[in-house]
Structure 1
Amino acid sequence: MAEHEETKGESLMEMITEKIHGGDSSSDSEDEKPSELKAKIYRLFGREKPVHHVFGGGKPADVLLWRNKKISAGALGVATAIWVLFELMEYHLLTLVCHGLILTLAIVFLWSNGTTFINKSPPRIPKVSMPEQPVLQFVSVLRLEINHALFVLREIAMGRDLKKFLAVIASLWVLSIVGSWCNFLTLFYIVFVFLHTVPVLYEKHEDKVDPLAEKLMIEIKKQYAVFDEKLLSKIPRGPLKDKKH
């Protein structure tokens, strides 16, 4: 009798432990659901990394996303000053360089010769030289980016992706129209200000922007599907040659 009660008590304890573990497993599944939902959230341009990683990380991304406000404000201020000098005041680059060198040489010359009248040693002018390694790194990165752009343009021109071809043509056409409105310096300044304002604003409000962008992309895909059905699908195309591996 006592053994029967002990076995009944053990079975009761096993049922309780199973319920507890079952509750834990259900809670674990409930915990997994939000993570799965987070993974399915639409992000602009299909990105999976934070905005800081999209811009390459490091100091350039810190400047664009205003991690260091003094450096970001300084860069934007310098760009604004250059644009005001060359665009609004119609200053020329060669004139600015010559005037800057004249002013610098005059100050250093007067400072060096003025110390002889006050019995002080002349100031030590440090040697200024351009470091080789950063210049080579910049040229190497620029070469890689240009080669990548040329490769992408070649792939688009081969006609393998009609959608990408039309997107590039439309982008170049819009850029040509914008270029007719302003010169290169103004366009460069607009892009510079755009890069220093839009990414940081998007990073702060990405939870509101991404749903709107998702709706916009769905609508664009619908319109493209209609355009493809009515026009693009009726354009005769030659057979594409297989790629040689």
Structure 2
Amino acid sequence: MLFMAVGVLWCKFAGRIFNRMPLEINIQLPQSTCIYIFGTVNWFLLKFCEITSGKNFKLFFVAMAGLYMLSSIGTYISSLNLLYTIILSVGTLPALYARYETQVDATAARCIGLVKNLCKLFQVKVLDKIPRHRKLN
């Protein structure tokens, strides 16, 4: 709002105070940029319709889980801090991975193994105990 107010004041009073007229600004986007922007918006709208139609429950639950995680992160971290952390991570994590690639890969493989073991344990202790309706031929 401050920049808009300064811009309006500059346009109104620059010619009187400094004997200068403000520059004429002509902003035009190329057609390819407009096509890309509207194509991206169209893709997001189609994905939104696909998620909300109820045809793909897996995608619906993934979207709901992602929104829930964003909401729970948002209760503890402000948007500005989250944006700063993301920008800082995007700038530093690739360099750190390039430097410590072998250690990161070994740790990631170990974590993936632990997650697979936990999923198997969850399947055995919880999911296998749920009665399922079986079709008779």
Which residue of structure 1 lines up, in the alignment, with residue 4 of structure 2?
Answer: 98
* Partner Cα separation in structure 1 for residue 38 and residue 115 of structure 2: 38
- 1:190, distance to aligned residue in structure 2 (A): 3.1
Aligned ranges for residues 178-193 of structure 1 at < 5 Å? 178-193=73-88
Distance 1:111 1:138 in 2: 41
Q: Which residue of 2 aligns with 1:197?
A: 92
Match in the other structure for 1:157: 57
2:4 counterpart SS class: helix
Residues 52-91 of structure 1 mapped to structure 2, 5 A cutoff: none
Q: Which runs of 4+ in 1 moved over 6 A?
A: none
- The answer to which structure, 1 or 2, has the higher relative contact order (CA under 8 A, 6+ apart) is 1
Quick one: structure 1 residues 171 and 228, their matched pair in 2 at CA, closer, same or farther if it must change by over 3 Å?
farther
Q: Which runs of 5+ in 2 are unaligned?
A: none
- Write the distance in 2 (CA, Å) between the matches of 1:223 and 1:106: 67
Q: Match of 2:75, as an amino acid?
A: S
Q: What residue number does 1:131 align with?
A: 29
Write out per-residue CA displacement over residues 104-125 of structure 1, whole angstroms, 9 at most, x where no aligned residue: 53685368725xxxxxxx78x3
Partner Cα separation in structure 2 for residue 203 and residue 180 of structure 1: 33
What is the aligned length? 132
Q: TM-score, normalised by structure 1?
A: 0.41
Q: Deviations along 1:27-53, whole A, 9 cap, x unmatched? A: xxxxxxxxxxxxxxxxxxxxxxxxxxx
The amino acid that maps onto 1:195 is V
Counterparts of 2:117 and 2:79 in 1: how far apart (Å)?
Answer: 36
Report the secondary structure of 1:225's partner residue.
helix
